[in-house]
Amino acid sequence: MTSSSGLPGSTGAGDAPASSPLPSPAPRLAGGAWLVLAAAGLWGTTGTAATLAPEGASGLALGAATMGIGGLLTVALAWRSAWAVVRRGSPLWSLCGAAGIVVYPLAFYTSMAWAGVAVGTVVSIGSAPVFAALLERCCEGLSLSRRWWAATVAAGLGCAVLTLAGGGDAVSGERPTAGVVLGVVAGAGYAGYSYCASRLIRGGHGARATMGALFGLGALVLLPVLAVTGGPLLGSARGLAVTGYLAVVPMCLAYLLFGAGLARVRASTAVTLSLFEPLVAAVLAVAVVGERLAPVGWCGVALVVAGLAALTVRRRRR
């Protein structure tokens, strides 16, 4: 996600559009995969951090604070080139991507509050690869490899097992059904803004500038939501500390890594790799938050790991 800053994905020319409208992603799959996995690992800490927020802080406030304030930080890192994306990039992809950024955190954090950290994260991120694949298929007519299907089916099945393993646990959440529905909505929003960012990056804009533009537009909606709902969250030192961590680490830093990864791999691949997030979230939910995961849930963890390995381990050429 970079422009002239020297990070991976830079066009090196002030984010000027390339001559070809949709050049193929650079063939640096392994490097891009590890960047996305690093971002997903940081995202996996959001649920656990959110449980440390003051009592009364809503999922809406947490989501708006994380991606609203974090969005401002992302813009600040590349505000000139981000503005160039808004002016010269496709208005359709910019606005659709910003809409996904608004929908995703509000649905995601509410899903975790209602269905539990493990289940909310698993459903939100686990459903995203399907939406990402549908977008690539409908918008570009791209086919998906057997390797991608095998990895996605394995990781998606693992996510389903994790959901079932946590769904019957009263500790996991107070409104599990509604939380799962919101998780699916969050998955659609996540896939949507990932795909739109990928289109803009492949159109010749730097990855950092692209993420700054989309998150800056999203912040225009999320910050007013925070102003209305953020009283309990921002009214204490603990709430400010949680907000600061969520905005800087799993938002700003993680999305810089994710944007750099999107410059190297297809959106559907990046979203599937993001299934590492619910794996991290589930482990932290058990180890730190105290949620319970049945033994079959650990089988789901193993399936997620197997699916991710299928995409990240480079096959040796003969």
Residue 20 lies in a domain: no
Under a CB-based contact definition with an 8 Å cutoff, are residues 201 and 262 in contact? yes
Cα 1 to Cα 125, 273, 274, 292, 295: the distances in Å are 21, 17, 17, 37, 39
Residue 25, pLDDT score:
45
Per DSSP, the three-state class of 161 is helix
Q: Domain containing 264: what range?
A: 29-312
Residue 143 lies in a domain: yes
- Written as tens digits, the pLDDT of the chain (318 aa) is 333 333 333 333 344 444 444 444 444 555 788 999 999 999 889 888 888 999 889 989 999 999 999 999 988 888 888 888 888 878 889 999 999 999 999 999 898 888 877 777 777 887 888 888 889 888 888 777 787 788 778 877 877 776 676 544 434 556 777 888 898 899 999 999 999 999 999 888 888 899 999 999 999 999 999 999 999 999 999 999 999 999 999 999 998 899 899 888 888 888 888 878 877 877 887 788 776 767 777 787 778 777 767 766 654 444
Residue 171, pLDDT score:
43
Number of Cβ atoms within 10 Å of the Cβ of 232: 15
Number of domains in the chain: 1
Instruction: Write the CB contacts of 41 (distance below 8 Å, at least 6 apart in sequence).
Output: 276, 277, 280
Residue 127 lies in a domain: yes
Which token pair is 279?
Answer: 């794996």
Residue 165, pLDDT score:
66
Residue 23 lies in a domain: no
If DSSP states are collapsed to H, E and C, what string results for 62-88? HHHHHHHHHHHHHHHHCHHHHHHHHHH
C-alpha to C-alpha distance for 274 and 272, rounded to whole angstroms: 5
Name the residue among 308, 214, 216 with its Cα closest to residue 269.
Answer: 308
Residue 19, pLDDT score:
40
The pTM assigned to this predicted structure is: 0.75
Residue 8 lies in a domain: no
Residue 11 lies in a domain: no
Rounded (5°) CA angle 74-70-280: 110
Residue 90, pLDDT score:
82
Residue 170, pLDDT score:
38
Residue 125 lies in a domain: yes
Which token pair is 161?
Answer: 């097992």
Residue 7 lies in a domain: no
How close are the terminal C-alpha atoms of the chain, in Å?
A: 33
Residue 124, pLDDT score:
84
